[in-house]
Chains A and B, each alone.
Chain A
Amino acid sequence: MALLEVKNLTKMFGGLRAVGNVTFHVNEGEIVGLIGPNGSGKTTIFNCINQYYTLTSGDIFFEGKSLKGLKTHVICHMGIGRTFQVVKPLSRMTVLDNVTASAFCRVGSIKEAQGEALRILEFSDLMDQKDKLAKSLPIGKRKRLEIARALATKPKLILLDETAAGLTPSELDAAIELIKKMRDSGITVLIVEHIMKVIMSISDRIHAINFGQTIAEGTPHEVANNPAVIEAYLGEAYAQC
């Protein structure tokens, strides 16, 4: 049984069909990439998975249980962590407090939460930033803080929404390392990414969408050579060559 199953997911905003009939699954231990041009509905799918949006139709199952109608915080407790594309740091809290607040998701006492937060900061290489206010971090570190915060909730599945966008080449390599490290520690990853270097090098499988519809799925190699994907990214003229 797949860890996450998205079945015929449809999300309408009034008359606009942002996501239409998308079906895919994520197996335990995998890194699955979700790609598509701007506005193709990737973030909407994430927002549907953690029920920030209510689904128009279709259903989403996590470990066999339907997520439909649950509250966002309940989904986090079930074991789905997420990061935001437009980072949402808790600005006037220190980096350590940001992660501690998330760690309370699993532990009750402040001592345990802080211990867990320190462990996560070590894991995600943010230890030297721990006493800085979140708002003082540069974008690369903020993206990392997003990941650290999601990790502190001890997720089984983590949804990464363009965590590599806006990073310098060296930060990019570090981000790839971090994602691999997460997978190795037993966390399943569903990742939205535009940077092909990241998505092609780490994904086990890729699901490509455009205009809210599935256009291709398969291994990175298969998807990269799929005419529909090339057309979506580069235009019709390139699809024929």
Chain B
Amino acid sequence: MEKKHIPYIILGLLAVAFPFLVTSDYYLHLVIITLMWVVIGSAWNLLAGYTGQVSFGHAMFFGIGAYTAGIFVTKLEISAWWGMAFGGIVAMLIGLFVGWVCFRLRGPYFALATLAGGEIFRLIATNWESLTDGMVGILTIQTFRSKLPYYYMALALAFMCIVVIHLIMKSKWGYYFVSIREDQDAAESLGINTTLYKNISLLVSSFFTGMAGAFYMNYMGFIDPHVVFSLHYISIMAILVGIVGGVATIMGPAVGAFIMVGLQETFRSAFFGLAPSWTSEAHALVFGLLVIFVILFLPNGVVGDWLKIKRNVFRVRASSERY
């Protein structure tokens, strides 16, 4: 065993032992949501960070996954656990269609097309009442009352997602994805079927995002179109998780998820009740400032610019000791 693996092993053991170290349901809930965001952020990062196809519509896949699981239970009476696998698969099928349409466009135009795609699916979910019950949403009974099984499920999903993406990036696909990001025309002339590999990236990304959506349905027991297809709370959040943590890094979205969910919760709970007059909407402002800060000072995110952070923090310490 090599030395560089030790921090990861400690992290893994801590993650497995976490529910026994912290028994509060509230904190367990926060970590479950964070792990879900690790999955979505990593999936977004595969498509946007590594392959360079920035999506503003990942809520589309998240929502499809959630609704697939929900509809399985309410309409077909199939266990929501089957729904989890199918949530990913159905999201992937939608991804296939989205790729077929949107990959005719490049760069910002692709991003705008996915933005529109996300909104289209939100409107479909709102208006196709015979299937989705529209704004009423879908309410199911959770399988477990304890949060423990959900925690391990989320942990397994996050672990699987990170490992799969890591393996992909170490393979031929990884080289191809990054080549496409760097220069699509050059990639094409080097024998890379850019359309095919962009679609592969999108399919893997949409599969994991759909799984996360289906997990959300199982865990929360309630969804409606404005929650799971939300541009603000899902699509934009996925981008923030990626950018803050570090695009095109394996661990970036994981770190980003902890930062973003932490921040969001801090504002939602008005600083854990300490500053009740701060409305929860303030988080939009802070997120905006955070993005400006990250783009200006940490363009590669917390993980990508970790050395820079370390250097600056140490310099601050050194100078404060001197005085």
Residue contact B190 to A110, C-beta cutoff 8 Å: no
What CA separation (Å) do A90 and B52 show in the bound complex? 12
Listed from nearest, the 8 A-B pairs whose CB atoms lie closest are: A76-B191, A105-B191, A90-B182, A88-B186, A101-B175, A102-B190, A72-B188, A101-B179
Partner of B193, one of A50, A73, A150: A73
Residue contact A102 to B182, C-beta cutoff 8 Å: no
Nearest-CB residue, chain B, relative to A109: B172
Nearest chain A CB to B101's CB is how many angstroms away? 19
What CA separation (Å) do A45 and B192 show in the bound complex? 21
Chain A residues whose C-beta falls within 8 Å of the C-beta of B190 in the assembled complex: 73, 76, 101-102, 105, 149-150, 152-153
Partner of B179, one of A72, A93, A110, A153: A93
Partner of A91, one of B175, B182, B192: B182
Q: How many residue-residue contacts, CB under 8 A, span A and B?
A: 76
Nearest-CB residue, chain A, relative to B186: A88
What CA separation (Å) do A91 and B190 show in the bound complex? 15
- With A90-B182, A93-B182, A101-B178 known as contacts, the answer to whether A82 contacts B189 (CB < 8 A) is yes
Residue contact B179 to A73, C-beta cutoff 8 Å: no
- With A73-B194, A108-B172 known as contacts, the answer to whether A52 contacts B189 (CB < 8 A) is yes
Residue contact A102 to B191, C-beta cutoff 8 Å: yes
What CA separation (Å) do A142 and B303 show in the bound complex? 29
Residue contact B189 to A76, C-beta cutoff 8 Å: yes
What CA separation (Å) do A50 and B185 show in the bound complex? 11
Chain A interface residue count, CB cutoff 8 Å, equals 29
Chain B residues whose C-beta falls within 8 Å of the C-beta of A132 in the assembled complex: none
What CA separation (Å) do A90 and B183 show in the bound complex? 6
- Give residues 185-206 of B contacting A (CB, 8 Å): 185-194
Q: Is B150 an interface residue (CB 8 A)?
A: no
Partner of A90, one of B171, B172, B186, B191: B186
Nearest-CB residue, chain B, relative to A87: B186
- With A97-B175, A104-B175 known as contacts, the answer to whether A77 contacts B182 (CB < 8 A) is no
Partner of A52, one of B185, B191, B194: B185
Residue contact B170 to A110, C-beta cutoff 8 Å: yes
| Residues in A lying within 8 Å of B, measured CB to CB | 50, 52, 71-73, 76-77, 81-82, 84, 88-93, 97, 100-102, 104-105, 108, 110, 113, 149-150, 152-153
* A-B contacts, 5 listed (Cβ < 8 Å): A52-B188, A71-B193, A104-B175, A108-B172, A113-B175
Partner of B192, one of A92, A101, A108, A110: A101
Q: Is B176 an interface residue (CB 8 A)?
A: yes
Nearest chain A CB to B53's CB is how many angstroms away? 16
Q: Known pairs A77-B191, A101-B192, A153-B190; list 10 more (Cβ under 8 Å).
A: A71-B193, A73-B192, A73-B194, A81-B189, A82-B189, A88-B185, A92-B182, A93-B178, A105-B191, A113-B172
What CA separation (Å) do A92 and B189 show in the bound complex? 18
Partner of A88, one of B170, B178, B183, B192: B183
Nearest-CB residue, chain B, relative to A50: B189
Nearest-CB residue, chain B, relative to A153: B191
Chain B interface residue count, CB cutoff 8 Å, equals 19
What CA separation (Å) do A153 and B192 show in the bound complex? 10
Chain A residues whose C-beta falls within 8 Å of the C-beta of B191 in the assembled complex: 73, 76-77, 102, 104-105, 153
Nearest-CB residue, chain A, relative to B192: A73
Nearest-CB residue, chain A, relative to B178: A93
Nearest chain B CB to A201's CB is how many angstroms away? 27
Nearest-CB residue, chain B, relative to A98: B179
What CA separation (Å) do A108 and B182 show in the bound complex? 21
Nearest chain B CB to A90's CB is how many angstroms away? 4
Interface centre among B170, B188, B191 (most CB of A within 10 A): B191
Chain A residues whose C-beta falls within 8 Å of the C-beta of B176 in the assembled complex: 101, 104
Nearest chain A CB to B188's CB is how many angstroms away? 4
Nearest chain A CB to B104's CB is how many angstroms away? 14
Nearest chain B CB to A181's CB is how many angstroms away? 21
Nearest-CB residue, chain A, relative to B194: A73
Chain A residues whose C-beta falls within 8 Å of the C-beta of B179 in the assembled complex: 90, 93, 101
Chain A residues whose C-beta falls within 8 Å of the C-beta of B193 in the assembled complex: 71, 73
Chain B residues whose C-beta falls within 8 Å of the C-beta of A110 in the assembled complex: 170-172
Chain B residues whose C-beta falls within 8 Å of the C-beta of A108 in the assembled complex: 172
What CA separation (Å) do A89 and B187 show in the bound complex? 10
Nearest chain B CB to A83's CB is how many angstroms away? 9
What CA separation (Å) do A185 and B194 show in the bound complex? 30
